[in-house]
Structure 1
Amino acid sequence: MTYPTNTTLITLSRPFKLDGQEVETIQMREPTVFDKLAFEKNKGAALEKEVTMIAGLCGLNPGDLYQLPAYDYEQLTTAFNDFLLPPAERSNLSS
């Protein structure tokens, strides 16, 4: 069974260079149980594991996020945490 994937679009505080292109937004998909299992199996410190999971949810490599301003990374983690709420309690960012 495949569930529809909800996504949210995070607007960055300023353009960010990604693969030689400036981006102003990053799209994140809703995490699945598989994503949480992969997080648990990954090696490294908690933040390294988190970056790997967040990057995967955004269709990026972990290294893509290393130069992202901390404020914008916090927006990504906020979006992730929003997905952990029941759908009726999520912010309007999720679609």
Structure 2
Amino acid sequence: MEIVLMEKVRSGCYNIIQLLDWFEQPDGFALVMERPEQWQDLLEFLLERDVLRGDGALDFRQVLEAVRALHRLRRPAPGHQAGETSWWSRRVAT
């Protein structure tokens, strides 16, 4: 499912690290992701701060905007029936 979501937002959301390529392996998948020049693990970032202010607050807002973009992609299409196979699970299963 992650590969499908990453391909879907490949060029649609600048706040999401881009999927450059992926490879199927016997025990799973290998994802090749872009790596921004300045980066930090999100948990580490949050643990270093008691309160987010200024640039930190703006950075976290970008993270939340990216999560919202992914959430919108996961919403069922109009007319989607409960229990019906979703587009992402159909794609992953094939």
TM-score (norm 2): 0.29
Larger radius of gyration: 2
TM-score (norm 1): 0.29
Structure with the largest fraction of strand: 1
